[in-house]
């Protein structure tokens, strides 16, 4: 599952990207990854989907477009 959070500007993912985990990893054990998450700055969900379909992972069928969740996100604090 890929969760994408929209901020409403231009499409960028450099500030926040990472794995979604089933649980907090224990020392010495592998992470139980169940998806990816990043903040996409875009005006619409369609803009995010178009970018995802055209990126390297989208073209390689890594993203499961049936399960992608695109949710609005309102940050509480933004630091320069």
pLDDT in tens, 19-67: 889 999 999 999 998 888 888 888 888 988 998 888 887 888 888 889 8
Residue 77: inside a domain: no
Q: Is the dihedral of CA 72, 76, 78, 79 positive or negative?
A: negative
Residue 8: inside a domain: yes
The two tokens of residue 12 are 């960028």
Residue 36: inside a domain: yes
Q: Rounded to two decimals, what is the model's pTM?
A: 0.64
Residue 52: inside a domain: yes
Residue 80: inside a domain: no
The answer to whether 72 and 6 have CB atoms below 8 angstroms apart is yes
Conformational region of residue 52, where left means phi above 0, alpha means psi within -120 to 50, and beta covers everything else: alpha
Residue 78: inside a domain: no
Tell whether the model's pLDDT for residue 5 goes beyond 70. no
Domain count, the chain: 1
pLDDT band at 9 (very low <50, low <70, confident <90, very high): very low
Residue 41: inside a domain: yes
**Residue ranges making up the domain that contains 43:** 2-22+32-72
């Amino acid at each position: 599952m890929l969760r994408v959070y929209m901020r409403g500007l231009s499409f960028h993912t450099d500030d926040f990207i990472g794995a979604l985990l089933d649980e907090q990893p224990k020392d010495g054990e592998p992470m139980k990854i169940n998806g990816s998450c990043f903040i996409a700055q875009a005006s619409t969900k369609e803009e995010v989907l178009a970018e995802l379909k055209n990126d390297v992972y989208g073209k390689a069928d890594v993203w499961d477009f049936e399960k992608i969740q695109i949710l609005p996100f309102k940050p509480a604090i933004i630091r320069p």
